[in-house]
C-alpha cells in the first residue's frame, strides 16, 4: 500500500517501497508520486494493464528523470494509475478505475496521467510525474486546475520509461502553484543554457480558439486573456495552420498510432491482453497504417515544424486554449468522448507536431470546473516560458 491515505483512487495498490532520496536539496520536504510507466527501483512498472503488470518484475533502476527529482530531495510515496499503455485522454482505466477529479468530482480527471494529476489536485502530494505524447500533461492539468508543461521534445530524458510514440513522447510533471513548478524546472533543466531575447511578441491562435465548444468557453477565458495582455500587450491574431488544424490532427494521429503499434504491437499479438474500448481501436488503427503513409506524414510534419518556426521566431508567444472546454462528465458516452478527444487533439497536436514547449495555466473556470489557457514558446525556451507563466499568474 502507498505511504499516504489515498482518498481519490490515484495510486496503484502496490506494496510500499522506501525509495532512497537525498536528505537535502532544492526539493527536500516535497512529496512525489510517479506515473506507472516510469521505472522506480523496487516497484513493478504495470503501464495500466494487468497482463503487463503480471509479466513485470520489480525494477532494479529508476527512470533517469525521476532519479533526478529523488537526488534533489523529493520523497517518492508511490506509483499512480495510468490509462492503459498511456494511450487515452480521459483517465478511465477499465481495470483500475477512474481517479477522482477533486476540483470537479462529477467530471473526468483526464489521462493518461490520471492518477498523478488526481494526487496533486487533491493535495496528496506536492508534485507528480506524467508524460505527454498527445496531451497527457496539458489536458489533465486543464481539467483539474493545475500547472502543466509539455517540454521541448527531447529535452528531458526518457530512459526507464515505457514508450508510446517515440517521436512525440515527453516527460512532464504537475504542481498546484508556480513556486513549486519553478523549483522542479530548475532541477530538471539546470544543465540547459537558454540564450535568447525575451519572449515579448504575443500571438492569438484564432484557429485554435475556433475549436472551443462555444461562446461560454470564450467568455470564461476572457479574464485569462486579460492577464496575458497585462503582461505582454495585446496579442496579434494569427492562423496557425493555413491548411487547417484538422489536417494537422490527422498527421499527428497517424504518426502516433503507427509508432504506438511499433512499440507494442508484437506484445499485444503475443500476450493478447484485454484492452479497454477506444484503446484497442487506436492500437489496431496503427497496425493498419503502412510505412509509406508514415513516411509521407513524417515529411508533412517537417513542413509543419518549419511553419511553426517561422511563426514563432525567437521571441514569439502563441496564446491558445489548452482544450475545447472543461472536463467532460464521467457519465459521457464513449462516442461523445471520442468527438471531444478528436477536437481536443486538433489543439493539442500543435506543440506535439512542432516539438515546441507548451504550458497550461489554471486561469479560468466554467460551471465550477477549471479551464486552462496555454502558451507556446520557441524550441528550447522552456524555462523562459515558465518564468513568463509565473509573471502572468502573479499579475
pLDDT tens digits along 331-350: 999 999 999 999 999 999 99
- Report the pLDDT averaged over residues 148-167: 98
Q: What is the mean pLDDT of the chain?
A: 97
Query: Does residue 292 register a pLDDT over 90?
Result: yes
Give the predicted TM-score (pTM) of the model: 0.97
Q: How confident is the model over 110-125, as pLDDT tens digits?
A: 999 999 999 999 999 9
Amino acid 192: pLDDT: 75
- Report the pLDDT averaged over residues 248-263: 98
Q: How confident is the model at residue 395 (pLDDT cuts 50, 70, 90)?
A: low
Amino acid 193: pLDDT: 67
Which of 102, 112, 131, 325 is an active site residue? 112
Q: How confident is the model over 374-387, as pLDDT tens digits?
A: 999 999 999 999 99
Query: DSSP state, 328?
Result: P
Please list the alpha-helical segments (H only) found in 114-236: 114-121, 138-144, 178-188, 206-209, 215-232
Q: How confident is the model at residue 213 (pLDDT cuts 50, 70, 90)?
A: very high
CA–CA distances in Å: residue 101 to residues 4, 90, 111, 227? 18, 11, 11, 26
Query: Coil, helix or strand for 202?
Result: strand
Assess whether 325 carries a catalytic annotation. Answer: no
Classify residue 306 as exposed, middle or buried by CB count within 10 Å of its CB (0-12, 13-18, 19+). Answer: exposed
Asked whether 392 and 361 are in contact (CB, 8 A), the reply is: yes
Q: Report the distance separating Cα 51 and Cα 79, nearest Å.
A: 17
Query: Does residue 238 register a pLDDT over 80?
Result: yes
Asked whether 173 and 129 are in contact (CB, 8 A), the reply is: yes
Bridge partners of 366? Answer: 369
Which of 102, 116, 131, 136 is an active site residue? 136
Asked whether 257 and 223 are in contact (CB, 8 A), the reply is: no
Q: How confident is the model at residue 196 (pLDDT cuts 50, 70, 90)?
A: confident
Query: Does residue 355 register a pLDDT over 80?
Result: yes
Assess whether 330 carries a catalytic annotation. Answer: no
Q: Report the distance separating Cα 101 and Cα 128, nearest Å.
A: 15
Q: How confident is the model at residue 2 (pLDDT cuts 50, 70, 90)?
A: low
The percentage of residues in the chain with a pLDDT greater than 90, rounded to a whole number, is: 96
Domains in the chain: boundaries: 1-395
User: Hey, what's the cell of 242?
Assistant: 493555413
Q: Report the distance separating Cα 219 and Cα 232, nearest Å.
A: 20
Query: Does residue 1 register a pLDDT over 90?
Result: no
Amino acid 115: pLDDT: 98
Query: Does residue 258 register a pLDDT over 70?
Result: yes
- Report the pLDDT averaged over residues 166-173: 98
Q: Report the distance separating Cα 203 and Cα 103, nearest Å.
A: 30
- Report the pLDDT averaged over residues 31-56: 98
Q: Report the distance separating Cα 46 and Cα 181, nearest Å.
A: 27
Q: Report the distance separating Cα 49 and Cα 47, nearest Å.
A: 6
Query: Does residue 100 register a pLDDT over 80?
Result: yes
Amino acid 356: pLDDT: 98
Query: Does residue 254 register a pLDDT over 90?
Result: yes
Q: Report the distance separating Cα 202 and Cα 185, nearest Å.
A: 23
- Report the pLDDT averaged over residues 249-253: 98
Question: 1-395 has which CATH code?
Answer: 3.90.1300.10
Q: How confident is the model at residue 143 (pLDDT cuts 50, 70, 90)?
A: very high
Q: Would the CA dihedral through 25, 27, 31, 37 be positive or negative?
A: negative
- Report the pLDDT averaged over residues 278-301: 97
Assess whether 112 carries a catalytic annotation. Answer: yes
Amino acid at each position: 500500500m502507498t505511504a499516504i491515505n489515498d482518498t481519490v483512487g490515484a495510486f496503484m495498490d502496490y506494496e510500499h517501497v522506501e525509495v532512497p532520496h537525498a536528505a537535502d536539496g532544492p526539493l527536500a520536504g516535497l512529496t512525489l508520486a510517479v506515473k506507472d510507466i516510469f521505472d522506480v527501483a523496487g516497484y513493478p512498472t504495470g503501464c495500466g494493464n494487468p497482463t503487463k503488470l503480471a509479466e513485470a518484475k520489480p525494477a532494479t533502476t529508476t527512470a533517469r528523470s525521476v532519479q533526478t527529482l529523488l537526488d534533489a530531495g523529493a520523497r517518492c510515496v508511490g506509483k499512480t494509475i495510468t490509462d492503459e499503455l498511456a494511450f487515452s485522454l480521459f483517465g478511465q482505466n477499465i481495470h483500475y478505475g477512474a481517479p477522482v477529479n477533486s476540483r470537479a468530482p462529477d467530471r473526468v480527471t483526464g489521462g493518461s496521467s490520471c492518477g498523478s494529476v488526481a494526487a496533486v489536485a487533491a493535495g496528496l502530494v506536492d508534485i507528480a510525474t506524467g508524460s505527454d505524447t498527445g496531451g497527457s500533461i496539458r489536458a489533465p492539468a486543464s481539467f483539474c486546475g493545475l500547472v502543466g508543461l509539455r517540454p521541448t521534445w527531447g529535452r528531458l530524458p526518457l530512459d526507464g520509461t515505457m514508450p508510446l510514440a517515440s517521436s512525440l513522447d515527453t516527460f512532464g510533471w504537475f504542481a498546484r502553484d508556480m513556486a513549486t513548478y519553478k523549483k522542479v524546472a530548475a532541477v530538471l533543466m539546470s544543465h540547459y543554457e537558454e540564450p535568447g531575447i525575451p519572449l515579448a511578441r504575443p500571438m492569438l491562435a484564432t484557429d485554435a480558439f475556433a475549436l472551443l465548444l462555444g461562446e461560454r468557453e470564450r467568455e470564461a477565458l476572457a479574464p485569462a486573456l486579460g492577464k496575458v495582455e497585462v503582461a505582454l500587450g495585446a496579442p496579434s491574431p494569427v492562423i496557425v495552420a493555413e491548411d487547417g488544424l484538422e489536417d494537422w490532427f490527422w498527421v499527428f494521429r497517424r504518426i502516433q498510432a503507427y509508432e504506438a503499434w511499433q512499440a507494442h504491437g508484437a506484445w499485444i499479438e503475443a500476450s493478447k491482453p484485454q484492452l479497454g474500448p477506444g484503446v484497442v481501436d487506436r492500437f489496431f488503427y496503427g497496425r493498419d497504417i503502412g510505412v509509406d503513409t508514415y513516411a509521407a506524414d513524417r515529411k508533412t510534419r517537417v513542413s509543419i515544424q518549419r511553419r511553426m518556426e517561422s511563426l514563432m521566431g525567437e521571441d514569439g508567444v502563441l496564446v491558445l486554449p489548452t482544450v475545447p472546454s472543461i472536463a467532460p462528465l464521467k457519465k459521457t458516452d464513449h462516442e461523445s468522448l471520442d468527438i471531444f478527444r478528436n477536437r481536443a487533439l486538433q489543439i493539442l497536436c500543435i506543440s506535439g507536431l512542432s516539438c515546441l514547449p507548451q504550458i497550461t495555466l489554471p486561469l479560468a473556470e466554467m460551471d465550477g470546473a477549471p479551464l486552462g489557457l496555454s502558451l507556446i514558446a520557441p524550441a528550447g525556451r522552456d524555462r523562459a516560458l515558465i518564468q513568463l507563466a509565473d509573471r502572468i499568474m502573479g499579475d
